[in-house]
Amino acid sequence: MAEETVIDVQRHAGQEVPSAPIPAPKTGDTFEVVENVVKALPIPGTTVTTALNYGMSLWGRTAKIICSLPDDNKRNYFLKVLSLGDLGRTMLEGEFESLKAIHSVSPTFAPEPYAWGHYGKPEMETYFLLTEFRDIGEQPPDPIRFTARLAELHRNSVSPTGKFGFPITTCVATLPQVVEWEDSWAVLYRKQMQDLIRQDAEKNGYWPESKIVCDLITSIVIPRLLEPLQSEGRSIKPCLMVGDLWDENTATDMNTGEPFVFDAGSMYVSEPEEEWDARNLLYSLRYNLSPAIFIPGCNLRQVVFEDMTELCKKFCPKELHDAQKAHQEQISRTENNRENGAEEEEEEEEEEKNGEMRGYLSMSDDDRERLREDMPTAAVTAEPSQS
């Protein structure tokens, strides 16, 4: 059974970006290491000396495993455990393959992943990820050195199919991403945005004003900005993206001084080139809409709406104006119908009362007498006088 996860809402939600320094990860109480994890250790004959709770995960548990190697040297490993059923399986398999892809291109830029799999307790749908341990220093790392390493990853990576996407499903936090291979970057990005828009509506409710700009983004803005990248003889290179890249998923390695990333959810994508500002804003929509879905109280839904509106004003102002006008007219019609309906209902009720009165007055004296005998006392006292 999946365990309930609790998000640090005070730090990760609300209307302000966290200003306090990122808390340094600390070791805690002992952590149970099951047989499946021991078998997954990369060097045969390794003995687990101890394991300690280490740092925090928004969705599960993390640990530092301290081991003795056959040659009596010491080595540490990082363990992540999620009790989220099939979702946890998808998250950890995706993270394993993402780290493997990043590490193969830039070994210092991501911990080496060793294994993932079922944790081994039959009564729990729990899965684990085992990686190289990195001592976390400054978070986030130096921006100049970090962006240089990130650019190297983008430049040196090669899509195994030559297409955009990823071999298996990866996640941003708990949200599986649409990563099926596509020849067209515009097609893949449109599918990703449509999927996130659907999840946002299911989680946060229908928002008609937002639906207007969402429809225009997927039907007009995305084709306008992205299709030209692969038309009229132009081509773009799919490059490996870290995915779920934010301050708390980056750090400086205390032992080497090099920046690195972790908790990745990768895919092969395109970078902004021409019309950089507009494309960068377009790409930010997918990143910002995700937390609006999985973090309670997050205000990024409003931010995304405003950014979408800005893009629509720039690339499809007439369509935006016409859609907003039609929406306002629909609101006015609905309000008028509601008001007219209320007036008609009052008129019908009044007519019904008048009809009852006319019927009573047209009765014979005998019929009125029988009616009075059948009516409650209160109703009899309300009999109208005859003039």
Q: What is the pLDDT of residues 96-119, one digit of tens each?
A: 999 999 999 999 999 999 999 999
Say whether pLDDT at 351 is over 70: no
Asked whether the predicted pLDDT for residue 9 surpasses 60, the reply is: no
Q: Is the pLDDT of residue 203 over 90?
A: yes
Looking at residue 358, its pLDDT comes to: 62
For the chain, percent of residues with pLDDT exceeding 90 = 73
In the predicted model, is pLDDT for residue 382 greater than 70?
no
Query: Between 170 and 333, whose confidence is greater?
Result: 170
Buried b / exposed e over 191-219, threshold 16 CB at 10 Å, is: bbbbebbebbeeeeeeeeebebbbbbbbe
Instruction: Kindly indicate the confidence band of residue 362, based on its pLDDT and cuts at 50, 70 and 90.
Output: low
As a whole-number percent, the residues of the chain with pLDDT over 70 amount to 82
pLDDT score, position 120: 85
Mean per-residue pLDDT for 311-317?
97
Could you tell me how far CA 241 lies from the centroid of its own chain? 17
pTM confidence score: 0.83
Quick one: tokens of 7?
């998000």
pLDDT for 22? 87
Beta bridge partners, 239, equal 269
| Residue 364 pLDDT exceeds 70 | no
Structure confidence by residue, pLDDT tens digits, 258-296: 999 999 999 999 976 678 899 999 999 999 999 999 887
User: CA angle 146-149-151, nearest 5°?
Assistant: 110
Q: What is the dihedral of CA 232, 235, 241, 243, to 10 degrees?
A: 20
How do beta strands 61-68 and 74-82 pair? antiparallel
Confidence at residue 6, expressed as pLDDT on a 0 to 100 scale: 41
